[in-house]
């Protein structure tokens, strides 16, 4: 039996070798080794948060695919799909902002029986920038027109500064953040959401930073109204008010829209000027209606009332200075003013009565329709507007017939 195994061993080994060789030949003919290239295999990014955690940003999108060549039996290779590959790149390889490439990890194919012959690229180029947070003041530019009588009292922003996150070089180029508010015919408080724009140092807008950037602007208005001085009583006899000055003449008030719309002036507390005979000066309080308050204005004003004592000026006229009006022009009557002197008394301010010229008064009597006799006639005077004639003045006028002239005797001529 032992000899039998030894006797057939060589034959058996030879048979096995022949079988293997035959299988290899058949396999190579029916299922040969082949290579295949797959394009655009997606690359998975590992540790993607590494950029934000270290304040890096990509200046441009990276290439996120590779081309892979594999080798294996035809039947196996034909079963391989793009999704069977695992290609990764790890952002944690970045050591500084100067890093220029990321090495791909060894590619893996999830299908057994194939090997990866090559892949390209083996590294992915990158271009990095350092991120930065910049804090900038928000500048409000008003383009507001007010309704007549109203003034812009105050504007305030919901936030006076804003933070912008982005590439360091771009953040360093930022000059300002501006919010432009457009309102017309404003007469009430309002709050408006205003878009903001970011500008560089050359005055150009940076749209990527301006996007979705807004601020709430609160606008407060006030109304400017005049002050009305309230007085009671009369000055002492023979005194006149020459001027009244108040300072300030206007104030600003704030309140509800309805309250501001209703107010036309602010009155003072009552000032008693009864029987005063000298200039008046005092501080007087203001009476502010309910629902309103004074803003940027004093609650008292200064009042100065100047007064002056009236004086009397006498002006005399002789009978020859008086004109006779509407006398008959048929020479049948003689008109004669028989009052020798007439006294006119004017009352007024010293400067004004002193300026009266006698020749401007043009005194006259009107004799229209009067017949013979002596008549007491009121003198008509051109009274100056700045003075007062204290009493009526009368003149006695005598009217008589013109004497008849006798005719001379006839003269008889001798022959």
Report pLDDT digits (tens) over 252-287: 999 999 999 999 999 999 999 999 999 999 999 999
Looking at CATH, the fold of the domain delimited by 131-221 is given as RNA Polymerase Alpha Subunit; Chain A, domain 2 (2.170.120)
pLDDT score recorded for residue 22:
57
pLDDT score recorded for residue 318:
92
Looking at CATH, the fold of the domain delimited by 229-309 is given as RNA Polymerase Alpha Subunit; Chain A, domain 2 (2.170.120)
pLDDT score recorded for residue 3:
55
pLDDT score recorded for residue 404:
77
Strands annotated E in 79-202: 85-90, 101-103, 108-109, 114-120, 123-125, 128-146, 150-157, 161-167, 174-186, 190-200
Domain positions in the chain are 31-126, 131-221, 229-309, 311-401
pLDDT score recorded for residue 57:
87
pLDDT score recorded for residue 27:
52
| CA neighbor of 324 nearest in space, from 310, 338, 344 | 338
Exposed/middle/buried for residue 305 (C-beta within 10 Å: 0-12, 13-18, 19+): buried
Q: Give percent above pLDDT 70 in the chain.
A: 90
pLDDT score recorded for residue 16:
61
Backbone angles phi, psi at 47, to 5 degrees: 55, 50
In degrees, to the nearest 5, what angle opens at C-alpha 227 toward C-alphas 231 and 247?
Answer: 90
> Under CATH, to which class is 31-126 assigned?
mainly beta
- Per CATH, the number for 311-401 is 2.170.120.30
pLDDT score recorded for residue 158:
95
Residue in the block written with tokens 């290239």:
37
Is 311-401 the same fold as 131-221?
Answer: yes
Q: What residues of the chain score a pLDDT lower than 70?
A: 1-29, 405-415
Alpha helices by DSSP H, 177-284: 207-210, 257-262
- The SS3 assignment for 279 reads coil
pLDDT score recorded for residue 171:
93
> Alpha-carbon distance 320 to 237, whole Å?
36
């Amino acid at each position: 039996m032992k000899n039998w195994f030894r006797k057939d061993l060589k034959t058996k080994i030879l048979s096995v070798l022949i079988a293997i060789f035959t299988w290899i030949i058949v396999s190579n003919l029916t299922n040969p080794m082949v290579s295949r290239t797959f394009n655009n295999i997606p690359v998975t990014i590992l540790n993607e948060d590494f950029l934000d955690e270290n304040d890096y940003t990509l200046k441009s999108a990276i290439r996120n695919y590779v081309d892979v060549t594999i080798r294996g039996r035809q039947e196996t290779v034909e079963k391989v799909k793009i999704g069977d590959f695992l290609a990764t790149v790890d952002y944690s390889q970045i050591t500084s902002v100067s890093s220029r490439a990321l090495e791909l990890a060894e590619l893996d194919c999830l299908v057994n029986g194939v090997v990866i012959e090559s892949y390209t690229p083996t590294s992915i180029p990158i271009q990095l920038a350092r991120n930065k947070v910049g804090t900038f003041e928000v500048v409000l530019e008003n383009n507001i027109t007010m309704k007549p009588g109203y003034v812009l009292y105050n504007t305030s922003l919901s936030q006076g500064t804003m933070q912008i996150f982005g590439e360091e070089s771009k953040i360093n180029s930022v000059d300002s953040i501006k919010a432009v508010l457009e309102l017309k015919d404003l007469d009430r408080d309002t709050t408006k959401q205003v878009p903001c724009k970011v500008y560089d140092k050359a005055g150009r807008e940076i749209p990527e930073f301006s996007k979705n950037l807004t601020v709430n602007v609160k606008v407060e208005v006030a109304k400017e109204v005049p002050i009305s001085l309230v007085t009671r009583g009369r000055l002492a006899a023979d005194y006149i008010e020459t001027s009244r000055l108040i300072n300030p003449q206007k104030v600003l008030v704030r309140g509800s829209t309805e309250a501001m719309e209703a107010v036309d002036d602010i009155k003072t507390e009552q000032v008693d000027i009864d029987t005063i005979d000298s200039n008046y000066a005092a501080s007087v309080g203001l009476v502010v209606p309910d629902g309103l308050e004074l803003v940027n204005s004093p609650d008292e004003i200064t009042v100065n009332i100047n007064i002056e004592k009236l004086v009397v000026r006498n002006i005399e006229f002789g009978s020859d200075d008086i004109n006779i009006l509407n006398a008959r022009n048929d020479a049948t009557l003689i008109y004669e003013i028989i009052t020798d002197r007439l006294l006119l008394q004017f009352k007024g301010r010293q400067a004004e009565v002193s300026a009266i010229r006698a020749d401007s008064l043009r005194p006259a009597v009107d004799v229209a329709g009067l017949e013979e006799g002596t008549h007491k006639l009121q003198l008509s005077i051109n009274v100056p507007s700045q003075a007062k004639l204290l009493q009526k003045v009368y003149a006695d006028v005598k009217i008589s017939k013109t004497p008849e002239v006798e005719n001379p005797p006839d003269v008889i001529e001798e022959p």
